[in-house]
Amino acid sequence: MKQILPPGISATDFAEALQALRKIVGDDFVYTGEALAGYADPYSIVADDDTHAASAAVAPASTGQVQAVVRVASQYGVPLWPVSCGKNYAYGGASPRMAGTVVLDLKRMNRILEVSESDGYALVEPGVSYFDLYNHITSKGYKLWLDVPDPGWGSVIGNALEHGVGYTPYGDHFAMQCGMEVVLANGELVRTGMGALPNGNTWQLFKYGFGPYLDGIFTQSNFGIVTKMGIWLMPEPPGYRPYMISFQREEDLEQVVDILRPLKVGSVIQNAATIRSLLLVAAVNATRSQYTDKPGPLPDSTLRKIMADQDIGMWNIYGALYGPPPVMDTLWTVIRDSFAKVPGAKFYFVEDRKRENDLLISRADTMRGIPRLSEFSFVNWTGGGGHIGFSPVSPIRGSEAMKQYTMVRDRMHEYGFDYMSIFAIGWRELHHVVELLFDRRDPKIKHQADVLFRQLVRDAAAAGYGEYRTHLSYMDDIAATYSWNDHALMKLNQTIKDALDPKGILAPGKQGIWPARYRGSPK
Amino acid sequence: MAGTVGGALALGNRVVIAAGDHSDDADVRTYFDARFPRSLQLAGLLPDPGVVAAVGGDPSFLMAQVNDATARRRGLRLQGVTTESVPFCLEQLVRDLPGVRIVSRRIDQDLFEWSINLPLKARTP
């Protein structure tokens, strides 16, 4: 196996650095060669397998070990790429942005340090997955609900730091975090918010502390390594009722979104509801080859057949009601009456859905915080299941949703891809998460997907839309679209980066932020 | 050992045997995807199929089987003919188990044949 080195580091120095790391974490927890297979991005669409290849990985077991690793990295100039559970698939998995970076794998730091049932929070380390925290809460019998993203194997901390979302009323994960412990590039340890108060007891209760609110700069960034974080948990509600509403026509999207906005902003829709496109829902239950063996966009007759077979719509809202039954009844009356204005709208509760793998049945778990992996089924749609997410943001406005939809759909069809998406409803915005599916064993299709993705970024930017998250391969492209006032935001990010990490060892290139030592050089 | 597929077949297209239904004594568990008739046929041809069951949309219960076998220091072979998300998820779930790797091969556009072996250690009598 070819050895990859960090840029500018000699093989001798690198071997010395690895030896120093072994002394900190133990021989079994420094990985090289074949042992790095698990750090490759399974959904990489770049032609060169080495583009995001790690040179090694190191897995510390404690904050103290993280500090020691950082000091060694600083001494040798070895770049580190922190990952929590490494399951950020479709955005790069555990791979680093820059070839030769050493993955700092925090999987062994998997302690649930505290769960407060009365105050409704947990304090966790980065290696704690949603499955771990859910199992802990249920085993202890706490009357608390977790909020989970679609696949439950990811890290609670990692997902919040990447601005991930879930589907209960606590669906904005970063909004629900409270208090961090962070290792800086010089090895120093900092606690944010009330955590800076020795012997305080409000670290997980009040976010802002005293002075500037810093937690945000440690999200989607390379300014520090988060080793502990508080996350708020939802008290178990007295009632829960998940629902699905389907709409029959493509053009219904506009009216649906306009109806949805006041319901969401006014908290009539309580959770992070989603609108899912026909094929994304269908793909959980079926594959493309069951409907056609022809390439290109599916004709309307096929789309209608899929809708009939699965009793789903061209657009499908998945939401849930929470609270005492009379409250849920009242909210449901308002929601149902509002969407009944859309001709052909159909309303379902779980008991109305009979198929074994029906999406509402699995969403019923997800929207009450039970982690699952069921949504991975959609990657089977084209066979060979690779996917990456294209995720532009828009206002919650029907005309904007339609504009994004038609813009993206037409481009995807032009390049021979099926359109599949989720519109996730935030407090004031729509995350339009488009799933670009490809056969990961087919280099030609992967190349097409790469060209298409870059085109989509350009299209979106020209229309004034930015992406909220992206795969490693597109971080520079997307960062470049946030260019107002001669890239003032990136200049500020670089200023912070250079101040906090002058040697440029933490996650070079993360979100397009390069330290001075790599700036301007080809990656 | 003959495959015990009778119960699954009797249910036709709605076949699902949940994780909890599997025999505790089985060393081999074989999975198929009920949406594809060929999947069951091919799964039945895998070596020593043991308990044969349909796998639904959520493969996370397979990890519970792996954890259980690991805790009991029992050898376990999981195998199947399914769509790719099942072996993919399983591969990621066992990533940190030393020496445990999934072997898979594509059969057609949709189906993959796969297997994973947990080495036998001090088997519980």
> Count of H helices and E strands in chain A?
13, 19
Please judge whether B93 and A153 are an interchain contact, meaning their C-beta atoms are less than 8 angstroms apart: yes
Mean pLDDT across B74-87: 91
**Residue numbers in A near B35 (CB within 8 A):** 285-287, 290
When CB atoms are compared, the residue of B34, B35, B59 closest to A373 is B59
CATH T-level fold of A1-109+494-523 = 3.30.43
Please judge whether B85 and A152 are an interchain contact, meaning their C-beta atoms are less than 8 angstroms apart: no
Q: For chain A, give every domain's residue range.
A: 1-109+494-523, 112-235, 240-476
Token couple for A76: 């040798």
% of chain A beyond a pLDDT of 90? 90
When CB atoms are compared, the residue of B16, B88, B96 closest to A376 is B88
% of chain A beyond a pLDDT of 70? 99
Digits of tens for pLDDT over chain A (523 positions)?
Answer: 678 999 999 999 999 999 999 999 999 999 999 899 889 998 888 877 789 999 999 999 999 999 999 999 999 999 999 999 999 888 999 999 999 999 999 999 999 999 999 999 999 999 999 999 999 999 999 999 999 999 999 999 999 999 999 999 999 999 999 999 999 999 999 999 999 999 999 999 999 999 999 999 999 999 999 999 999 999 999 999 999 999 999 999 999 999 999 999 999 999 988 999 999 999 998 999 999 999 889 999 999 999 999 999 999 999 999 999 999 999 999 999 999 999 999 999 999 998 878 999 999 999 999 999 988 889 999 988 889 999 999 999 999 999 999 999 999 999 999 999 999 988 899 999 999 999 888 999 999 999 999 999 999 999 999 999 999 999 999 999 999 999 999 999 999 999 999 999 999 999 999 999 999 876 6
Name which CATH class applies to A240-476: alpha beta
Q: How far is B97 from chain A (nearest CA, A)?
A: 11
When CB atoms are compared, the residue of A287, A356, A376 closest to B56 is A356
Beta-strand runs (E) in A146-193: 177-183, 189-191
Chain pair A-B, CB pairs under 8 angstroms: 67
**Residue numbers in B near A380 (CB within 8 A):** 83-85, 110
Taking the CA atoms of residue A3, residue A7, residue A13 and residue A18 in that order, the dihedral angle to the nearest 10 degrees is -60
pLDDT in tens, B82-123: 999 999 999 888 888 877 889 999 999 999 999 998 875 543
Spatial separation of the C-alpha atoms in residues A213 and A222, rounded to whole Å: 17
Token couple for A118: 């009365």
Closest CA to A313 of A389, A356, A255: A255
Instruction: Say if B36 falls within a structural domain.
Output: yes
Confidence (pLDDT) at B18: 36
Confidence (pLDDT) at A385: 81
Count the domains in chain B. Answer: 1
Q: Is the distance from CB of A157 to CB of A145 less than 8 angstroms?
A: no
The residues of A that are catalytic are 91, 468-469
**Residue numbers in A near B58 (CB within 8 A):** 362, 372-374
Collect all residues from A whose CB is shorter than 8 A from any CB in B.
38, 42, 87, 107, 131, 152-153, 284-287, 289-290, 356-357, 362, 371-374, 376-377, 379-380, 383-385, 441
Instruction: Say if B21 falls within a structural domain.
Output: no
Confidence (pLDDT) at B10: 29
Please judge whether B60 and A131 are an interchain contact, meaning their C-beta atoms are less than 8 angstroms apart: yes
CATH T-level fold of A112-235 = 3.30.465
Give the structural domain span for B66.
26-118
Quick one: how far is CA A471 from the chain centroid?
A: 10
Instruction: Say if B123 falls within a structural domain.
Output: no
**Residue numbers in A near B17 (CB within 8 A):** none
Please judge whether A87 and B92 are an interchain contact, meaning their C-beta atoms are less than 8 angstroms apart: yes
Collect all residues from B whose CB is shorter than 8 A from any CB in A.
14, 16, 34-35, 56-60, 83-85, 88-89, 92-93, 95-96, 106, 108-110
Classify A348 as helix, strand or coil. strand
When CB atoms are compared, the residue of B14, B58, B95 closest to A38 is B95
**In the predicted structure, residue B25 carries a pLDDT above the cut 60:** no
